[in-house]
A = this chain, B = another copy of it.
Amino acid sequence: MTVFRDTRLKPQLNTPLYQQLYEHLRSAILSGQLPKGTQLPSTRALADKLGVSRNTILNAYDQLFAEGYLESVGGKGTFVTQALPEVSFQPRGIWHPAPARRAHRLSEQTQALLKAPIMPPSLPLSRGLAFKAGVPALDAFPYELWAKLVARHAHRLNPEVMQYQDAAGLRSLREAVAEHAIVARQVRCTPEQVIITSGSQGGLHLAARVLLNSGDRAWIEDPGYLGARAALLASGAEIVPVPVDAEGLNVQAGIARAADARVAYLTPSHQFPLGVTMSLSRRLALLDWAKRSGGYVLEDDYDSEYRFDGHPLASLQALDASESVIYVGTFSKVLFPSLRLGYVIVPLALVDAFVAMRRAISYTTPYLEQAALADFINQGHFMRHIRRMRTLYAQRRADMIAAAKDLPLEIYAPSTGMYLVGWLNEGLNDRAAARKAAEYQLRVVPVSMFAIEAALRGGLVLGYAAVTRDEIDAGMQRLGRALHEMSEEKT
């Protein structure tokens, strides 16, 4: 049989000899080289022929028996199974990644998602964090304390907490979150209404799946957060961009464009990326729309813990008397993004639906981080860390404003959050400016990247939370050179 004439087992490979032989024979059977009903050599004869131990042959034959490629016919020997179906089959041999061998059809929501912009991939950390938005002060993180809490729970793992857990999240964490949201954000809730998610992205996606049919319309701030757009697109929503002005999302414009929208996504406390706060009259108008139309409001409250003058503004949820607001929070901005923890707070009547969908998506997040975070909050470290960061970010914001004073930028820096916007001189293209800044090792994102229809003056989102005074000074000097160079090239 030519099949065995060509067989060369290679002891130098990582793959065991029996497996090499098994794969060789399987391919030969599937390709028709060894037709149905062919008798195979005895294990002893084949071992002699290939110069390997008889055990190697036995192991390979056993595997082929077990998987149905071979059958033994009482006393007569080993044969390729007669009952193999007639199907065209290309054995793959040694596998190499190759161009697609077939037409692939993706779902409509996946096709929409692949066309949507995403944040540019991060530069290597060696280039520093100036001026990445959305990342907290990792230089001021309480590393030892956090590691101690995590290690303590890792050492206390036990069968009770290693099994499948409640899809709504760890009870102690839900209680801690409810307490924090009530005190710090005046959210009205009980712990039952808190559902732990994998970051705010997990919360936005969860809400979209619970509330939106494919094809439903959804308002989104224009310009607005790309992660929210992705969550809505991933749920098959038709995106309705709604303009943002100094009072936040323009509710009347939204109603004029799509009064029948099922969902309105917004960042009322600190609009991303423009930085404005939604006015009280707009808030009330939005809730009125939701109440009348039966729509829902997705309130993304991503960084409002950081307000530098006076107390944080109350959340939109605090004003909601008609169960229309889904409040979305995250721990990415107070702790760190790769923790992947966030939460939604939903009307009591929707809890069962959210938990059922949460379970279908992936049950819940890992136990360990949830337990450590519950301790972190309950022992007071969370509020202490927020207070420390509030002072630090206020200082860094002031440093940024000072360092920007000689740059050709009009700074808009509300006294909240972790970033400011530097508006460029009229006519300058912010994408070109961001590319130029990248040449100077700076991570700045152009405001226009977040726009759908909005025609905006060029601007740069400049995060200051993650950078020290020195990095701010050096980074702003480089930004100045980049902007100068761009103007030179333009003229």
Which A residues lie at the B interface, using CB under 8 A?
15, 19, 23, 26, 30, 59, 62-63, 66-69, 81, 83-85, 87-92, 95, 97-110, 113-114, 118, 122, 125, 129, 135, 138-139, 141, 143, 146-147, 150-151, 154-155, 157-165, 183, 186, 188-190, 192-193, 197-199, 201-202, 205, 209-214, 216, 227, 230-231, 233-234, 236, 262, 279-281, 284-285, 287-288, 291, 294, 310-311, 313-314, 319, 321-324, 336-341, 347-350, 352-353, 356-357, 359-369, 466
From B81, B163, B319, B359, A135 is in contact (CB under 8 Å) with B163
A-B contact pairs, 8 of them (CB 8 A): A26-B314, A88-B288, A95-B188, A102-B323, A147-B151, A150-B154, A151-B151, A230-B356
Residues of chain B contacted by A337 (CB below 8 angstroms): 162-165
Instruction: State in angstroms the CA–CA spacing of A201 and B365 once bound together.
Output: 12
Check if B230 sits within 8 Å of A359, measured CB to CB.
Answer: yes
- Could you tell me the distance in whole angstroms from the C-beta of A163 to the nearest C-beta in chain B? 6
- Could you tell me the distance in whole angstroms from the C-beta of A309 to the nearest C-beta in chain B? 8
From B122, B341, B357, A234 is in contact (CB under 8 Å) with B357
Residues of chain B contacted by A323 (CB below 8 angstroms): 100-102, 104
Check if A280 sits within 8 Å of B81, measured CB to CB.
Answer: yes
Residues of chain B contacted by A188 (CB below 8 angstroms): 92, 95
Residues of chain B contacted by A367 (CB below 8 angstroms): 338-340
- Could you tell me the distance in whole angstroms from the C-beta of A270 to the nearest C-beta in chain B? 13
Check if A107 sits within 8 Å of B210, measured CB to CB.
Answer: yes
Check if B347 sits within 8 Å of A100, measured CB to CB.
Answer: yes
Copies, count: 2
Q: Which residue of chain B has its CB nearest to the CB of A95?
A: B188
Residues of chain B contacted by A341 (CB below 8 angstroms): 366
Knowing A234-B209, A361-B361 are in contact, say whether A159-B129 is a contact too (CB < 8 A): yes
Knowing A147-B155, A150-B154, A201-B360 are in contact, say whether A95-B163 is a contact too (CB < 8 A): no
Check if B202 sits within 8 Å of A361, measured CB to CB.
Answer: yes
Q: Which residue of chain B has its CB nearest to the CB of A309?
A: B66
- Could you tell me the distance in whole angstroms from the C-beta of A192 to the nearest C-beta in chain B? 7
- Could you tell me the distance in whole angstroms from the C-beta of A295 to the nearest C-beta in chain B? 9
Q: Which residue of chain B has its CB nearest to the CB of A109?
A: B209
Check if B366 sits within 8 Å of A107, measured CB to CB.
Answer: no
Check if B150 sits within 8 Å of A356, measured CB to CB.
Answer: no
Knowing A125-B160, A151-B151 are in contact, say whether A281-B361 is a contact too (CB < 8 A): no
From B212, B233, B281, A107 is in contact (CB under 8 Å) with B212
Residues of chain B contacted by A161 (CB below 8 angstroms): 338
Q: Which residue of chain B has its CB nearest to the CB of A159?
A: B138
Knowing A67-B280, A85-B284, A281-B83 are in contact, say whether A98-B294 is a contact too (CB < 8 A): no
